[in-house]
Structure 1
Amino acid sequence: MNTLAQNHHSQITCPNCQGHEILEIPRGTSQHLYRCPSCSTILKPKSGDCCVFCSFGSVDCSSSEQNLAA
Structure 2
Amino acid sequence: MHLTSTLTCPQCSGVTEETMPTDACQFFYDCRHCGAVLRPLRGDCCVFCSYGDVPCPPIQEAKNSGGTPGCCSAR
State the shift of 1:7 in Å.
4.3
Q: Secondary structure at the match of 2:44?
A: coil
The change in CA–CA distance for 1:37 and 1:27 in structure 2 (over 3 A counts) is same
Distance in 2 between the 1:7 and 1:27 partners?
10
Q: Which has the higher helix share?
A: 1
Any unmatched runs of 5+ in structure 2? 70-75
Q: Secondary structure at the match of 1:11?
A: strand
Specify the alignment match of 2:7 in structure 1: 12
Normalised to the residue count of structure 1, the TM-score between the two structures is 0.78
Distance in 2 between the 1:33 and 1:39 partners?
15
Specify the alignment match of 1:63 in structure 2: 60
Q: Conserved in 1, the CA contact under 8 Å of 2:2 and 2:54?
A: no
Amino acid corresponding to residue 21 of structure 2 in structure 1: P
Stretches of 4+ aligned residues off by more than 4 angstroms: none
Q: Indicate which of 36, 39, 46 corresponds to 2:41.
A: 46
% identity of equivalent residues: 39
